[in-house]
Chain A
Amino acid sequence: MRCEDCLPLVEEYFDGEVEGTMATRMGAHLSACATCAAALDALSFEQEIYARYDRGGLEVSPDLWSRVSAEIARDARPAERPAAPRPFLSRVREQLAAGLAAFAARPALASSLALLLVGVTAGSLWLARRVQPVVPSGVAENLPPARVVPSPAAPGVAPGVNTPTTGSLNVETHDVYRAAAVPSRDDSREPAAGPRPPAPTPAAVDDVMALLGSASAPQANPNIVVIRPDGHEGADATAALFINASAPARDSGAASEGGRLLDPGEKEVARHLEQTQMLLRSFKNARASEAGSLDIDYEKNLSRKLLAENATLKLEADVKGDKDTKQVLDTIEPFLLDIANLRENPSRDEVRSIKDRVRKNEIVAALQVY
């Protein structure tokens, strides 16, 4: 191999991304060519510098999980989110509630009207079932699938409430994560199509809406999808719902819970374990050639340094009687030893056996948790 072939691949080789015979050839060339070996050494030196980058002691603050958790909890309890304005349904519900309150004072009238209500309800349902979906062609296809999927809790409800309309369509859902900007279509711009199904009277539509509003409160059936004739109010309400749901939850109270600054010794241990984790990750990613060797000088040197640190930290932990820290350091020591003691140009199998142990013990993941 010539330097012109080797030098452009030195970075890839250093990154453990050159495999097979090419890696073997490069290894042979690098051991014989001072110029190319110097390029590899320079990369190794740079990597050592970057390994010292500590992001100004950046740590995961104790309240970060509290914040994530609070946000997730809001997802799990949609009914507890701040209520977004739903003018149309609210109005219908309020009217119905007011009417029922008045009837409660007059039992006879209430009974009669209850019977009447049953009749109206049955009629409305019958009407609703007969009504064909009249979403103009082109609009239905453009609706996101989530909007028209009926609730599993009430199969068939959503198709049943599709109502014919000549006005703009408005889609309203109580599942805020399905809510988004509402497609609308101005009928005046719509080309005259073929015959339309008969449109129900506005009163019939109101009946259906009233029925939904009273019987299917969001808490009871959160996924019901309502398509109704309306202007832009619903769209605004939906957008408001979405915005409310997206607002970040900042639990100021949680911020002070469980927070404790690490003392310098603890920071040193944390940093040591992080460096070990990075070393093991780097080692895991190093790739041996098919039959040849692998240049892992950087990992070996770092292992030696970390091994010395490990011994010091273990001693300190021992003196402090910190058994837990000592145990963690004991656990990583064999890995550091194995890497540090690898011979020059180790074989693929030698490297693989350590890699396998690192992988099997999930030591990198364990150190990440730290």
Chain B
Amino acid sequence: MNERLAVNTMSLELGQPGAHAGALMNSTEELVARVRAGDEEAFRLIFDRYSRPVLGFIFDMVGDRSLAEDLAQETFVRAYRGLQTLREETKLSTWLFGIARNCALEQLRTRRRNAGNVEIDAEPAFELHDHARTPSGQLLDKELSGVIQTALARLDEDKRTVFTLKVLQQRSYEEIAEITGFSVGKLKTDLHRARAEMRKRIGPYLGGEQ
């Protein structure tokens, strides 16, 4: 922790160049250029910067920790191999999320085929205790996370993607459109429906606060 914090603290101290200044001292364009020139350490900085949100996004898509790690690995390996094809270096983040989404969707489709076309929606709902005894004030964050995760898994892929990117990752509509290739109209519709479905599914666990 202290080592990590030391690096991060250096990253936060802008205007103090150093050999290990970390990701923050480098703009995205610089990092991409360095990776293209064969600097693996620069790719490490890109990994450090984006691995957490990418892993979180993939986890929200597939709902499995170990699988999410494998797919995050695949995402960064594909990114490294394809970095030469990135045209707008400033959009590295959306590009990475696009790769992550592809990896997740490929996996979900494979899983669905292997499961004899059983839809992810067919998964049993996460069951808690009697709803009346679990108002939001008493619901532990852990349980709430379980409820949210289960509700997420029951959204279809498009809605889950859009909901995750907007509500959980705070991406703008423009960024989501770039990541998914959806039109803004479609993503607005999907997001509205996803919110409604999520509300319906987690509502019972939130007591009368809604």
Q: Do A and B bind each other?
A: yes
A interface with B by C-beta (< 8 Å): 11-12, 15-17, 42-43, 45-47, 49-50, 52-56, 58-61, 64-65, 67-69, 71-72, 75-76, 177, 248, 260, 262-263, 266, 269, 274, 278, 281-282, 285, 322, 324-325, 327-328, 331, 361-363, 365-366, 368-370
B17, CB-defined interface residue at 8 Å? no
Main secondary structure on A side of the interface with B: helix
Nearest A residue (CB) for B148 = A53
Given contacts A17-B172, A369-B23, contact A72 B80 (CB under 8 A): yes
Nearest B residue (CB) for A56 = B145
Q: With both chains docked as a complex, state the minimum distance between the C-beta of B152 and any C-beta of chain A, in angstroms.
A: 9
Asked whether, in the complex, the Cβ of B70 is within 8 Å of the Cβ of A56, the reply is no
Q: With both chains docked as a complex, state the minimum distance between the C-beta of A219 and any C-beta of chain B, in angstroms.
A: 19
Asked whether, in the complex, the Cβ of A365 is within 8 Å of the Cβ of B210, the reply is no
13 of the cross-chain contacts (CB-CB < 8 Å) are: A50-B148, A55-B145, A56-B142, A67-B73, A68-B47, A68-B73, A285-B172, A322-B2, A324-B8, A325-B1, A325-B5, A366-B11, A369-B8
Binds A, one of B53-61, B102-110, B114-122, B127-135: B53-61
Asked whether, in the complex, the Cβ of A58 is within 8 Å of the Cβ of B59, the reply is yes
Q: With both chains docked as a complex, state the minimum distance between the C-beta of A54 and any C-beta of chain B, in angstroms.
A: 5
Asked whether, in the complex, the Cβ of B173 is within 8 Å of the Cβ of A369, the reply is no
Nearest A residue (CB) for B172 = A285
A45 contact from B12, B52, B209, Cβ within 8 A: B209
A368 contact from B44, B49, B168, Cβ within 8 A: B49
B94, CB-defined interface residue at 8 Å? no
- What is the size, in residues, of chain B's interface with A at 8 Å between Cβ atoms? 65
Asked whether, in the complex, the Cβ of B40 is within 8 Å of the Cβ of A50, the reply is no
Asked whether, in the complex, the Cβ of A58 is within 8 Å of the Cβ of B8, the reply is no
B8 contact from A49, A60, A370, Cβ within 8 A: A370
Asked whether, in the complex, the Cβ of A11 is within 8 Å of the Cβ of B191, the reply is yes
Give complex CA distance A52, B73 in Å. Answer: 26
Contacts of A76 in B (CB 8 A): 40
Q: With both chains docked as a complex, state the minimum distance between the C-beta of A313 and any C-beta of chain B, in angstroms.
A: 12
B65 contact from A58, A67, A75, A370, Cβ within 8 A: A58
Q: With both chains docked as a complex, state the minimum distance between the C-beta of B60 and any C-beta of chain A, in angstroms.
A: 7
Nearest B residue (CB) for A63 = B69
Q: How many A-B residue pairs have CB under 8 A?
A: 149
Asked whether, in the complex, the Cβ of A60 is within 8 Å of the Cβ of B51, the reply is yes
Contacts of A331 in B (CB 8 A): 9, 12
Q: With both chains docked as a complex, state the minimum distance between the C-beta of B201 and any C-beta of chain A, in angstroms.
A: 12
Give complex CA distance A58, B142 in Å. Answer: 12
Closest 10 pairs between A and B when the two form their complex, measured CB to CB: A324-B5, A281-B170, A266-B1, A71-B77, A366-B24, A68-B76, A53-B148, A282-B170, A60-B51, A331-B12
Which residues between 1 and 58 of chain B lie within 8 Å of chain A, taking CB atoms? 1-2, 4-9, 11-12, 14, 22-24, 40, 43-44, 47-53, 55-56
Asked whether, in the complex, the Cβ of A365 is within 8 Å of the Cβ of B24, the reply is yes
Q: With both chains docked as a complex, state the minimum distance between the C-beta of A195 and any C-beta of chain B, in angstroms.
A: 42
Given contacts A46-B195, A368-B52, A369-B23, contact A328 B8 (CB under 8 A): yes
Give complex CA distance A69, B22 in Å. Answer: 17
Apart from A43-B195, A366-B11, what are 12 other A-B pairs with CB-CB below 8 Å?
Answer: A11-B195, A15-B166, A16-B172, A42-B210, A50-B167, A55-B145, A64-B55, A76-B40, A324-B5, A324-B8, A361-B12, A366-B12
Asked whether, in the complex, the Cβ of A72 is within 8 Å of the Cβ of B14, the reply is no
Nearest B residue (CB) for A370 = B8
Asked whether, in the complex, the Cβ of A362 is within 8 Å of the Cβ of B144, the reply is no
Contacts of B56 in A (CB 8 A): 55, 58
Most buried by A among B22, B169, B172, B199: B172
Which residues between 67 and 92 of chain B lie within 8 Å of chain A, taking CB atoms? 68-70, 72-74, 76-77, 80-81
Give complex CA distance A370, B48 in Å. Answer: 8
Asked whether, in the complex, the Cβ of A45 is within 8 Å of the Cβ of B59, the reply is no
